[in-house]
Amino acid sequence: MRTVNKSVYNYDRISITARTVAYVRSFSNIPYAKEIAEKVSAKEAWEKIWGNGPESHEQLMLRAPGIEARGKSIDEILRRSNATQILELAAGMSPRGLAFTNTGKVTYTETDLQDISNEKRGIIESIAPNYSSRKLRLEQANALSYADILNASGAFLNKPLYIVSEGLMNHLNINEKKRVVDNVKCMLQVFGGAWICSDILDRKRLDAADTPGAKRTDITGRSVIENALDSEESVHAFFSNMGFSVEKYPIFTNLHELYSLRILGVPKTEINPLLQKSPWKYTWVFKLNQQRS
Ligand SMILES: C[S@@+](CC[C@H](N)C(=O)[O-])C[C@H]1O[C@@H](n2cnc3c(N)ncnc32)[C@H](O)[C@@H]1O
């Protein structure tokens, strides 16, 4: 008897979030964030989901400081690590590749699914026509496919590689998460380095913060809350069991640097309660227990 094939999830459904994140990031002072948001009609994508009334404003207040802080936190860890080779998974409309290749010292490959990656290439070309001379590459890669990731990694030399992901893992179910973890693990076995990511959310926090949107399935066909690991302890256990050492860094440390709090006019007394409700709290750094060098 033939078994009925379960419908295959189309990861392109997640791609709308590349635009909504780009819109939220445009309230920060992260270099290139505003230019990119304008070029991808990010505001229109955001308003399709959240409208332009009070709910939209509430969501912006909730997300903008977190998106800004998580991005800056990853940047800071990359700089502190003197990273000269960076592979970004599910880069979407992230401006990091452009910013990090300004000096010519960093080899940066950003990857995403085919459609978003092609669209991003056009955007990068329009912002920085000489981008290929910057050691910045844009490649298609499904993060669940090791072959894709390896194919995308032709620019890297035999020295530590810093893999970044920001906003992918939270959309994946546990088996998919494991596949990405395995893929990253294989890459780090080859190059050494670390995986720096801000997209590991835990259910306990999402529940406590009562994050609106985390339960919604209409946007991507996935519920972030259902796919979350149970707690911070579960995150530790999950990655330790998969052979990683685990470090975590709070993202809300330099509040005076959060431009979005000022631009959105958050009163001083409301900053802490607002940050308590942010779904993002840490940047996680995973290194192989058996590090190559
Ligand atoms: C929330 S967005 C985050 C984008 C970007 N990291 C940022 O912070 O702006 C999620 C991204 O994951 C990408 N994505 C979804 N499934 C993917 C997969 N299987 N492999 C690679 N990228 C994927 C989407 O296309 C989208 O760009």
Residue 114 and residue 219: Cα distance in Å, rounded? 20
Q: Measured from the CB, is residue 67 less than 6 Å from ligand 1?
A: no
Q: What are the respective helix, strand and coil percentages of the chain, to the nearest 5?
A: 50, 15, 35
- Please report which helix (H) or strand (E) contains residue 112, including its range: strand 107-112
Query: Residue with the nearest Cα to atom 19 of ligand 1?
Result: 142
DSSP 151-205: HTTTT--SS-EEEEESSSGGGS-HHHHHHHHHHHHHHHHHH-EEEEES---BHHH
> Which residues are 216's β-sheet partners?
none
What's the token pair of residue 84? 């000269």
| 54 phi, psi to nearest 5 deg | -60, -35
3-class DSSP assignment, residue 40 = coil
Whether residue 105 contacts residue 134, with contact meaning beta carbons closer than 8 Å, is answered with: no
Name the residue among 268, 212, 280 with its Cα closest to residue 69. 280
> DSSP secondary-structure letter at 133?
G
How far is ligand 1, taken at its centre, from the CA of residue 277, in Å?
A: 23
Substitution site in 9, 13, 14, 170 for ligand 1 pocket (most atoms within 8 Å of beta carbon): 14
Domains of the chain, start order: 16-288 (3.40.50.150)
List the pLDDT tens digit at each of the 293 positions of the chain.
555 455 789 999 999 999 999 999 999 999 999 999 999 999 999 999 999 999 999 999 999 999 999 999 999 999 999 999 999 999 999 999 999 999 999 999 999 999 999 999 999 999 998 887 889 999 999 999 999 999 999 999 999 999 999 999 999 999 999 999 999 999 999 999 999 999 898 999 888 776 767 777 888 888 888 889 999 999 999 999 999 999 999 999 999 999 999 999 999 999 999 999 998 999 999 999 976 54
Q: Measured from the CB, is residue 14 less than 6 Å from ligand 1?
A: yes
How far is ligand 1, taken at its centre, from the CA of residue 270, in Å?
A: 31
How far is ligand 1, taken at its centre, from the CA of residue 45, in Å?
A: 15
List all residues 6 or more positions away from 54 whose beta carbon is below 8 Å from its beta carbon. Answer: none
List all residues 6 or more positions away from 16 whose beta carbon is below 8 Å from its beta carbon. Answer: 45, 49, 219, 220
Q: Measured from the CB, is residue 152 less than 6 Å from ligand 1?
A: no
Query: Residue with the nearest Cα to atom 2 of ligand 1?
Result: 18
Residue 11 and residue 9: Cα distance in Å, rounded? 6
Query: Residue with the nearest Cα to atom 8 of ligand 1?
Result: 166
Q: Measured from the CB, is residue 116 less than 6 Å from ligand 1?
A: yes
Query: Residue with the nearest Cα to atom 25 of ligand 1?
Result: 15
Q: Report the atom number in ligand 1 closest to the C-alpha of 166.
A: 6
Tell me what pLDDT residue 132 has: 77
Q: Measured from the CB, is residue 93 less than 6 Å from ligand 1?
A: yes
Tell me what pLDDT residue 292 has: 52
Query: CA-based diameter of the chain, in Å?
Result: 65
Residue 230 and residue 203: Cα distance in Å, rounded? 5
Tell me what pLDDT residue 209 has: 76
Q: Measured from the CB, is residue 112 less than 6 Å from ligand 1?
A: yes
